[in-house]
């Protein structure tokens, strides 16, 4: 691999790492909103997943890593199909079905989906200074939406927001009596909630 290719590869790795951190912030944002919309763990998980889903179009990076070459699939698809209104419309009936035909929750899914896009536009500038446009109308149009004042993906507003969301997550988990761990193990979730309740107080509301 030549020096230039190594430089591009390091930049891709850095970008992927930062995007992974960004996905965690999106997940926390969705979880925080979800716990204010429903007391049901599955509903909250649904909203949290909805908050992350647009970044599914960044999975091309995995193929690029396996191929060990240039960031072809990542740059070709990131911020395109996952961040488009088409993807949102395709997901709506699935969310409606998963939420047991809950129109309110489905409407909130649309809102959280678009909150993800809004966050990307205002604060997801790449480490190289590149502003990843949102191709909201893809594949019908290649118009990319961006904001000239967009801050860097690792800028202090994102870090501060993430810290506040982590704190909110811990407090809400203690209060509501569940964490995302319930999706994997009820027992482990119960142990974690007990620990959080000892630290943050409160008891399970459900
Ligand atoms: Zn995104």
| pLDDT tens-digit readout, 25-63 | 999 999 999 999 888 899 999 999 999 999 988 887 777
CA-based Rg of the chain, rounded to a whole angstrom? 19
Please state, in angstroms and rounded to a whole number, the distance separating the CA atoms of residues 63 and 67: 6
57 CA → ligand 1 middle, Å:
8
Report the pLDDT value the prediction gives residue 203, as an integer from 0 to 100.
Answer: 65
Report the pLDDT value the prediction gives residue 85, as an integer from 0 to 100.
Answer: 96
187 CA → ligand 1 middle, Å:
33
The single residue listed with the structure tokens 């909250």 is: 44
Answer for the pair 83, 58: CB distance below 8 angstroms, yes or no: no
pTM listed for this prediction: 0.82
119 CA → ligand 1 middle, Å:
8
Q: What is the DSSP string of the chain?
A: --HHHHHHHHHHHHHHHHHHHHHHHHHHHHHHHHHTT-S-HHHHHHHHHHHHGGGGGGTHHHHHHHHTS--HHHHHHTTSGGGSHHHHHHHHHHHHHHTTS-HHHHHHHHHHHHHHHHHHHHH-B-TTS----B-TTTTT----B--TTPPBTTSHHHHHHHHHHHHHHHHHHHHHT--GGGGT-HHHHHHHHHHHHHHH------
Report the pLDDT value the prediction gives residue 73, as an integer from 0 to 100.
Answer: 74
110 CA → ligand 1 middle, Å:
14
101 CA → ligand 1 middle, Å:
27
Rounded to 5 degrees, what angle do the CA atoms 113, 125, 112 make?
10
Report the pLDDT value the prediction gives residue 131, as an integer from 0 to 100.
Answer: 82
pLDDT at 2 over 70: no
The pLDDT-based confidence of 110 (bands split at 50, 70, 90) is: very high
Closest to 80 (Cα-Cα) out of 106, 109, 59, 102: 59
Report the pLDDT value the prediction gives residue 130, as an integer from 0 to 100.
Answer: 79
| Mean local confidence (pLDDT), 61-76 | 73
The pLDDT-based confidence of 10 (bands split at 50, 70, 90) is: low
Report the pLDDT value the prediction gives residue 201, as an integer from 0 to 100.
Answer: 78
Q: Which residues pair with 123 in a beta bridge?
A: none
30 CA → ligand 1 middle, Å:
13
19 CA → ligand 1 middle, Å:
8
How is residue 34 written in tokens?
């979800």
201 CA → ligand 1 middle, Å:
34
At 131-179, the pLDDT tens digits run 888 999 999 998 999 998 888 888 899 899 999 999 999 999 999 999 9
Closest to 84 (Cα-Cα) out of 138, 126, 129: 138
Answer for the pair 151, 145: CB distance below 8 angstroms, yes or no: no
């Amino acid at each position: 691999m030549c020096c230039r290719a190594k430089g591009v590869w390091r930049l891709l790795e850095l970008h992927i790492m930062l995007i992974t951190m960004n996905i965690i912030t999106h997940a926390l944002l969705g979880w925080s909103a979800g716990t204010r919309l429903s007391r049901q763990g599955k509903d909250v998980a649904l909203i949290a997943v909805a908050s992350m889903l647009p970044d599914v179009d960044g999975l091309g990076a995995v193929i690029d890593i396996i191929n060990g070459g240039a960031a072809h699939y990542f740059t070709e698809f990131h911020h395109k199909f996952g961040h488009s209104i088409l993807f949102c419309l395709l997901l709506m009936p699935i969310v409606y079905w998963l939420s047991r035909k809950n129109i309110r929750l489905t409407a909130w899914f649309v809102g959280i989906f678009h909150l993800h896009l809004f966050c990307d536009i205002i604060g997801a500038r790449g480490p190289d200074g590149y502003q990843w446009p949102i191709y909201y109308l893809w594949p019908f149009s290649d118009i990319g939406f961006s904001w000239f004042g967009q801050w860097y993906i690792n800028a202090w507003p994102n870090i501060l927001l993430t810290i506040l969301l982590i704190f909110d997550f811990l407090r809400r988990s203690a209060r509501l009596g569940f964490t995302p761990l319930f999706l994997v193990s009820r027992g482990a979730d119960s142990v974690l909630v007990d620990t959080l309740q000892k630290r943050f107080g409160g008891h399970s509301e459900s």
